[in-house]
Chains A and B, each alone.
Chain A
Amino acid sequence: MASLGAIATAPLKAKREGDKSAKSIVFMGVLWFTIFFSVLCLGTLLVNAFFDGWTRLDGNLITRYSSTVLPETAGARAAILGSALVIVMTAVLAIPLGVAAGVYLEEFADPRRWYNKIIEVNLTNLAAVPAIVYGMLTAGVALSIGLPRRVVLAGAIALALLILPVIIITTREAMRAVPREIREGSLALGATPLQTVWRQTLPSAVPGIATGSIIALSRALGEAAPLLLLGGLVFVSYDPNGLFSGYTVLPIQIYDWVKEPQLAFQQVASAAIILMLGLLLLMNAVAIVIRNRYQKRW
């Protein structure tokens, strides 16, 4: 980097320099290396997880519960079911709230009003609050209103709050992409602003919202930190069966196994990582298909 600084302060020559000078080629090489590094890290990470875990990608992984004594046949059954339940609940909580807030901010809020400015600034800050803080918030609130905190619902609430800013931003972007002419056409026909949103803008924005929401949910699926205070790490050997059931989720289960020193736990952790990454890939693929297939081009 020091040599780049030297180049940067060299005076501009009026003569045309080519892009083939030695310095330029070195610079290009450095850029290429930085890119290559990212690709390399990703590749190594994936290959490493696969080599550690592929022997344990078996039926036990999805049909059996975890075990402290028998890592060779331990499975992530409770975690898979727990993740499914928590993510569905997260979606149920976060999508309606996030879409409603996004619709308000994009279609109705007068940006000059102080309260709308506060909401805007607040959203950008919320989007960057550490994930674990959402767990502390939910735990604190659950405690003060006397509800159990180590249950599915608490986990889902924490994750829903975590992805709420993402869904709001996604919704706003999708609504903004709908041309103004459509809104004007609807209003000029005597539709109310809400009818216009409900019958024109929102339907046109659905593909964009769906894509963004799925990506946000995939983030929630891999998120462990906020759930550490909200249920994780009790060895769960039963299927979660409701909103107030104890539970664990895949990333917590992985964390749990990674911390165990035995090699067999490391292997089952890798196998669960492969499973989780596969699920994430699937969700993202679905999101991309929706975006490419249903997104309207104006």
Chain B
Amino acid sequence: MSSTIATEGSSSQTTPQGVDPDSYNKDPAGFLRQRRGRYGERVAMVALVGSAGLSVLVTIGIFFALLVPSLEFLREISIREFLTGDRWAPTFADASFGVLPLVTGTMWTTVIGLLIAIPFGLGAAIYLAEYAPERVRRFLKPVLEVLAGIPSVVYGYFALYFVAPTVLNDLLSVEVGTFSVLAAGLVLGIMIIPTVASLSEDAMSAVPQSLRQASFALGANRMRTTLRVVFPAAVSGITASIVLAASRAVGETMIVALAAGTQAQVVSSPTEPGQTMTGFIAQTATGESSPGSLTYNTLFAVGLLLFVVTLLMNVVAGSIVRRIREVY
């Protein structure tokens, strides 16, 4: 026998105690009790539980980190002015704290993004789930993964220096300036295509094969089966994917910070520049705002609004997903 094995074997010889075959005679009442304290194991177990519990702590931490400065903010600005005011100018001499301009900015970019991501994401999902031969899938899935893995600052660059000047101005003759919610929204849409595509594909792939076969047996072709059988059966999963994608669009920062502009105004046309909630946070965060100041607290008030909105969307998506799991 080789030496490595011998040393491996001998390493455990130092460990104490073996099974004493006669132990039940010596200790008829207690021979099945725990022999070693296994204190190390208890410590390890506490560490495991603690790590899992940490995630709850993070959520609580987020909530309080956002809430405390927000309450400070609300001591100076009424919640009514904040939520219903339509002028956002926190740093001006005649400061105003109506968040509606930021909210409409976010809505514009998100809606434009969804207008891109829903058709293209769903088309890709249908193709991948129902049509694509294995070889094509093996090429397309990585393309979507790469698309999902591109950092958003790169998308921001793309929106600012390619989509706005080249695609919108030159190719499509749309009059937009350097910054517009249109350019930001379009690129945001490209970014969330993979979210819609992969989650919807999962939902459609989960539709039982028997449903498709029943449809084929009735003489329906593939297109009809897809649209009338698979799609309706997967509709809640698809809805969830869209809600999740929307939540990502709402929370996305770098694209809108670079391409949508920094003018907080109630946007009335997609070709206008505008500022989103995340865009405001990015702009203010990079400036020097001293902690405790109103500007700093404003940042967190907007952050809290953003967190609450995305959380609600995620909870909705999550409950849809959970309902599907119960069905299948």
Give per-residue flags for B218-237: 1 if the beta carbon is below 8 A from chain A beta carbons, else 0.
11111110011001000000
B153 at the A/B interface (Cβ < 8 Å)?
Answer: yes
Query: Which residues of chain B are near A104, meaning CB under 8 Å?
Result: 48-49, 51-52
Complex contact B310–A42 (CB within 8 A): no
Query: Are A17 and B219 in contact (CB-based, < 8 A)?
Result: yes
Known: A34-B123, A132-B281. A24 touches B223 (CB 8 A): yes
Tell me which of B38, B55, B161 has the highest count of chain A C-beta atoms within 10 A of its own C-beta.
B55
Categorize the interface residue count of chain A: 35 or more
Cα distance A270–B315 when bound, in Å? 38
Are B251 and A7 in contact, with the CB atoms below 8 A? Answer: no
Q: Tell me the A10-31 residues at the B interface (CB within 8 Å).
A: 12-19, 21, 23-24, 27-28, 30-31
Stretch in A61-69, A177-185, A216-224, A238-246 with 4+ CB within 8 Å of B? A216-224
A126 partner residues in chain B, CB cutoff 8 A? 55, 58-59
* Given known contacts A129-B62, A223-B151, A100 and B258 CB-to-CB distance under 8 angstroms: no
In the complex, how many residues of chain B place their beta carbon closer than 8 angstroms to a beta carbon of chain A?
Answer: 92
State the 8 A-B residue pairs at the shortest beta-carbon distance, nearest first.
Answer: A130-B251, A34-B123, A222-B151, A140-B65, A100-B51, A225-B253, A104-B48, A101-B51
Nearest CB on A from B240, distance (A): 11
Bound together, the chains give a CA A192 to CA B74 distance in angstroms of: 54
Of residues 29 through 77 on chain B, the ones whose CB sits less than 8 Å from some CB of chain A are 38, 41, 44-45, 47-56, 58-59, 61-62, 64-66, 68-69
Q: Is the CB of B306 within 8 A of A130?
A: yes
Q: Is the CB of B153 within 8 A of A255?
A: yes
**Given known A15-B219, A133-B66, contact A276–B154 (CB-CB < 8 A):** yes
- CB of B9, distance to nearest CB on chain A (Å): 16
State which residues 148-172 of B face A: CB under 8 Å: 149-158, 160-162
| Minimal beta-carbon separation of A55 from chain B (angstroms) | 15
Check: B252 CB closer than 8 A to any chain A CB.
yes
State in angstroms the CA–CA spacing of A262 and B38 once bound together: 65
A residues in contact with B274, CB < 8 Å: none
Query: Does B144 lie at the interface of the complex (its beta carbon under 8 Å from any beta carbon of A)?
Result: yes
With A24-B221, A140-B69 known as contacts, the answer to whether A128 contacts B248 (CB < 8 A) is: yes
Of the candidates B69, B124, B247, B248, the one having the most CB atoms from chain A within 10 angstroms of its own CB is B124
In the complex formed, the residue of B with least CB distance to A288 is B142
Q: Does B131 contact A (CB under 8 A)?
A: yes
In the bound complex, do residue A225 and residue B254 qualify as a contact, i.e. CB atoms below 8 Å apart?
Answer: yes
Which residues of chain A have C-beta atoms less than 8 A from B303's C-beta?
132-133, 136
Flag if B48 contacts A18 (CB, 8 Å): no
Name which residue of chain A comes closest to B161, CB basis: A266
| Alpha-carbon distance A121/B45, docked complex (angstroms) | 22
Q: Which residues of A contact B154 (CB under 8 A)?
A: 45, 49, 222, 254, 273, 276-277
A89-124 interface mask toward B, CB cutoff 8 Å, 1 = contact, 0 = none?
Answer: 000000011101101110011000000001101111
- Within the complex, what minimum Cβ distance (angstroms) separates B98 from chain A? 21
Chain A hits for B50, CB < 8 A = 100
